[in-house]
Structure 1
Amino acid sequence: MSSILLQVTCSILAWLSLYSGFWCRNKHRTPEWSCRMVTFLHGLIVTFLSGYTVFIDGPWPLTHAGHPNTPLQVFLICLSLGYFIFDFCWCILFNSESDLMLSHHFLSMCGMTLALDTGRSGSELNAIIFVSEVTNPFLQMRWFLRDSGCHHSLIGDVVDYSFVTLFLGLRIVGGAWIVHSVMNSPKTIVTLKGGILAMYAVSVIFMLDILSFARRKTTKKYQARRSERTKEDHAKRN
């Protein structure tokens, strides 16, 4: 346990140092810009590590839910737990996120802490980290594009539709697969089952907002193209 506490503490200090470095070098930008850079890097790092853990290093989460944690799983959970503690405190300090996002952070921290405390369920936690964080870099890229005024462009459309596709395909469909295996696992404790189910419910609420956004964007694109075609037809007739 002392080793785990040391890893979590080092993770918090590492993310805090990274944020301080971004803020010192970019004082002309807002604190949110620096925080989102940290979030972007966290998403890239843990997506790669959790993907390697789930698909290569193992064990397979759909068949080994509730099994003892491996050293790599413990390291990744500690790394993410340190980030979530940093980001949760930052969001509280700057009052920048909704209650739903804070609930997601809180549930994530509780689930990771429980897995580290019991020494089990690292496989399913790593799988959840993968399907949750794989979309995060695209979400941050969307914010940076909007902040720089380049959101309404081809690359902005690619980022938006990639985010929606990955969210629905991995976080919703893949997440449902993981939740099903966890609920049927006799080795996963009941408290963690409830926490994972609550996290999936939060993802479903996020999905409703994302589908509403995708519908509005598609409708605006269609209306803009229709208006442009009408103007072209009118010009040709003249």
Structure 2
Amino acid sequence: MAVSRKTAMAIKSYQNQARALAKNYLLADPFMPYTCILGGILLFKVGYDLTQLISTFYFKSYNGLTKIQRIEWNNRGISTIHAIFITVISLYFVFWSDLFSDQRVAGLVTFRSSPLSVFALGVSVGYFLADLGMIFWLYPSLGGMEYIIHHSLSGVAVAYSMFSGEGQLYTFMILISEVTTPEVNMRWYLDTAGLKRSNAYLINGILIFFAWLAARILLFGYVFYHVYLHYDQVIQMHAFGYFLVFVVPSVLAIMNLMWFGKILMGLKKTLAKRQ
């Protein structure tokens, strides 16, 4: 009985120490961004391993892939998880939360943030760092220079927005474009599984077209329009933040248009083969 009581007291002591550590350090305002980034990297690793484990047991075609194909398969699994997470969070902040609402009079929209917004952006930064590391490590197997440019610009912009608290609304607007990632990954999965001629592949291609048009073409136009309407607030940002607000969306918009052209051509070819 005495041993059990001592054990219980020791466990309780460790729990109290863990809570104190989390409250005073990990979740304290100065350390929270770093904690979230580290959490994002750890989640990347956990998601990668879970994708590998699940795929090994439930997808017969997985075991027949080459080593690099299995790595990309797992990488796209965590890419999909991150995309769903950040898209849901971004849609919430842009369309449902009152944090960035024009009806709110507390502070300029370009300088608003919250613990939840910092947490979400930190997790996203952790993902971009981990994924960029894998792209460099296996370059060019997981993507060429366009992926490095995309991830680098996105990572820098998201990190700056998280640490400075500036321009988080525009960061979340741009991150909504991640809604296209699950469809793009599914296209790769279907192609790798030998289902390129299936109806699922055609339907997925159509979904990519409309999702890309909405989230990476029209939405970017709305971002520039919103910046125009709130330019008096945007101009009060730090010079680097002001630079990012204009340069990052512009570069990504150009890349999106180039990729959209390829998507359109691919969809036309697929439809032509079925006639």
TM-score range, shorter chain: 0.7 to 0.9
Of the candidates 135, 155, 159, which is equivalent to residue 180 of structure 2? 135
Deviation at 1:106, TM superposition (A): 0.5
The answer to whether residue 208 in structure 2 is matched with residue 156 in structure 1 is no
How many angstroms apart in 2 are the aligned matches of 1:223 and 1:32?
A: 28
CA contact (8 A) 2:125 2:155 kept: yes
CA contact (8 A) 1:179 1:196 kept: no
Of the candidates 3, 11, 18, which is equivalent to residue 47 of structure 2? 18
Q: Deviations over 1:137-171 (max 9, x none)?
A: 11111111111112322221121121121212221
Q: Label 1:61 to 1:189 Cα distance change in 2 as closer, same or farther (>3 A).
A: farther
The answer to whether residue 248 in structure 2 is matched with residue 199 in structure 1 is yes
CA contact (8 A) 1:70 1:122 kept: no
Aligned to 2:7: none
Q: Label 1:74 to 1:209 Cα distance change in 2 as closer, same or farther (>3 A).
A: same
SS at 1:66's partner residue? helix
Query: What is the identity percentage for the equivalent residue pairs of Structure 1 and Structure 2?
Result: 19
CA contact (8 A) 1:182 1:188 kept: no
Aligned to 1:126: 172
Alpha-carbon RMSD: 2.3
Of the candidates 71, 76, 86, which is equivalent to residue 36 of structure 1? 76
CA contact (8 A) 2:183 2:207 kept: yes
TM-score by length of 2: 0.73
Of the candidates 146, 150, 163, which is equivalent to residue 191 of structure 2? 146
SS at 2:110's partner residue? coil
How many angstroms apart in 2 are the aligned matches of 1:181 and 1:13?
A: 35
- Mapping of 1:88-237 within 5 angstroms? 88-95=132-139, 96-130=142-176, 132-182=177-227, 184=231, 185-200=234-249, 201-219=251-269, 221-222=271-272, 224-225=274-275
The answer to whether residue 96 in structure 2 is matched with residue 56 in structure 1 is yes
SS at 2:195's partner residue? coil
TM-score by length of 1: 0.84
Q: Label 1:61 to 1:115 Cα distance change in 2 as closer, same or farther (>3 A).
A: farther
Deviation at 1:208, TM superposition (A): 2.1
Deviation at 1:220, TM superposition (A): 5.1
Q: Deviations over 1:84-135 (max 9, x none)?
A: 11100011111121111111100111111111221222222112111x2111
Q: Deviations over 1:185-231 (max 9, x none)?
A: 33443423432433332332232233234224314533652xxxxxx
| Gapped regions of structure 2 (runs ≥ 5) | 1-29, 57-61
Q: Label 1:74 to 1:105 Cα distance change in 2 as closer, same or farther (>3 A).
A: same
Count of matched residue positions in the alignment of Structure 1 and Structure 2:
224
Deviation at 1:41, TM superposition (A): 1.0
Greater Rg by CA:
2
